A = this chain, B = another copy of it.
């Protein structure tokens, strides 16, 4: 256990983080209502010359980008990938513009190398779409089209509502690119409603889980397909807020090596949803159980998993591929609860500013 670091004279720790976390149903509902804006922005993805979608971002926005690669593939049949920012920005390679649409994700819209990437893509003639919480930011200025997250100011350093808003924006852009916008706006509205109903129960369940795992020294986080994005974001949240070293793996990569690190009692966070990758996740959980790991399973298929130490089931999303909007929530709540149980303040991680300004 680490020493408590809460300032007794300061505001109650974690208030911002938890308040913003709880705003997520409202944020998603607002996005669901902006059909015409998404339809207009997505026009760039429907240009016949666009064959690939290049997604860029850092930190939580990069994790949202992982979701984007699946959302574009599954909803729109488009090839999408998280492009290297370093190649054009630091190494000066040419950006292939003719067949690409660029989607840049940044909560602040001020991450310098993401802005630089978009400026280069614009100069090269690629259509660019900025997804940001600040439509007055340099990133919004640099891009051809802007999708404002309209999530309200995010004051806690660790992202919550802007992460899920980025996921929703990516799903909506993919849906409009595929001519299925209206259906996904409706599905997002229903997802937000499910989330609002589930939140109180999830807060209680994750608080209990945090009490059980307060002394954890490390955690492995497993997901597959779209939920690999969730695994990455849960691991980052645990590191940022609860100072727990957590490493994300796809369910398949877990069996390739990391399973060796498990000591009896070591916690494993697994996301299990009703989709075609479920057998790989079930297999990985079985190996974690065999090694004596303390498995925490969440997701719409959590109830179907045998042998988990802790089970935090979630409702099924009303449309395929919107599940990650639900399955990130227990991870965010658990990170907040674990930070609190360890005397840490998730609102103010040491050494962090809200905007990445490193070169």
Chain A residues packing against B (C-beta within 8 Å): 2, 51-52, 58-60, 62, 69-70, 73-74, 77, 79, 81-87, 90-94, 96, 99, 113, 158, 217-218, 224-225, 228, 235-236, 239-240, 243-247, 250-253, 255-263, 275-277, 279-280, 283-284, 287, 290-291, 349-352, 356, 358-359
> How many of these chains are in the complex?
2
Contacts of A280 in B (CB 8 A): 90, 358-359
**When chains A and B are docked, how far (Å) is the Cα of A257 from the Cα of B81?**
23
Interchain CA distance A356-B86 in the complex, whole Å? 31
Partner of A91, one of B91, B236, B277: B277
CB-nearest residue of chain B to A87: B73
8 Å CB contact of A349 from B2, B260, B275, B358: B260
Closest B residue to A277 by CB, please name it: B90
Do B263 and A2 have beta carbons less than 8 Å apart? yes
What CA separation (Å) do A280 and B253 show in the bound complex? 29
Q: Which residues of B contact A350 (CB under 8 A)?
A: 259-260, 262, 291
Given contacts A90-B276, A99-B99, 11 further A-B contacts (CB under 8 A): A51-B96, A73-B87, A73-B91, A81-B82, A90-B225, A239-B257, A240-B257, A243-B261, A260-B349, A260-B350, A284-B358
Q: A279 to chain B: which residues have CB within 8 Å?
A: 359
When chains A and B are docked, how far (Å) is the Cα of A194 from the Cα of B96? Answer: 36
When the two chains form their complex, are residues A74 and B93 in contact, meaning their CB atoms are under 8 A apart?
Answer: yes
Question: In chain B, what residue has the closest Cβ to A86?
Answer: B225
User: Contact between A113 and B252 (Cβ–Cβ < 8 Å)?
Assistant: yes
- A251 and B358 in contact (CB under 8 A), knowing A87-B73, A239-B257? yes
Which residue of the partner chain, among B86, B246, B276, contacts A92 with CB atoms under 8 Å? B276
Given contacts A93-B74, A99-B51, contact A224 B257 (CB under 8 A): no
The one of B69, B77, B99, B245 that contacts A218, using a Cβ cutoff of 8 Å: B245
**Closest CB-CB distance, A52 to chain B, in whole Å?**
7
Q: How far is the CA of A280 from the CA of B83 in the complex (A)?
A: 18
B73 near A352: Cβ-Cβ < 8 Å: no
B260 lies within 8 A of A358 (CB): no
Q: Which residues of B contact A245 (CB under 8 A)?
A: 217-218, 245, 247, 261
Whether B251 pairs with A239 at a CB distance below 8 angstroms is no
Q: Can you give 17 contacting A-B residue pairs, CB < 8 Å?
A: A51-B96, A58-B252, A59-B256, A60-B257, A70-B84, A73-B93, A81-B82, A86-B228, A91-B276, A91-B277, A239-B247, A240-B258, A259-B350, A259-B352, A260-B350, A260-B352, A283-B359
What residues of B have a CB within 8 angstroms of the CB of A235 in the complex? 247
A291-B84 in contact (CB<8A): no
Residues of B within 8 Å of A2, CB to CB, are: 263
Which residue from B59, B82, B99, B262 sits with its C-beta under 8 Å from A351?
B262
Report A258 CB to chain B, min CB distance, Å.
Answer: 5
Q: Which residue of B lies closest to A356 (CB)?
A: B256
- Please pick, from B83, B86, B356, the residue contacting A255 in the complex, using a CB distance under 8 A: B356
Q: Is the CB of B356 within 8 A of A59?
A: no
- Of the candidates B158, B217, B239, B253, the one whose C-beta lies within 8 Å of that of A217 is B217
B239 touches A349 (CB 8 A): no
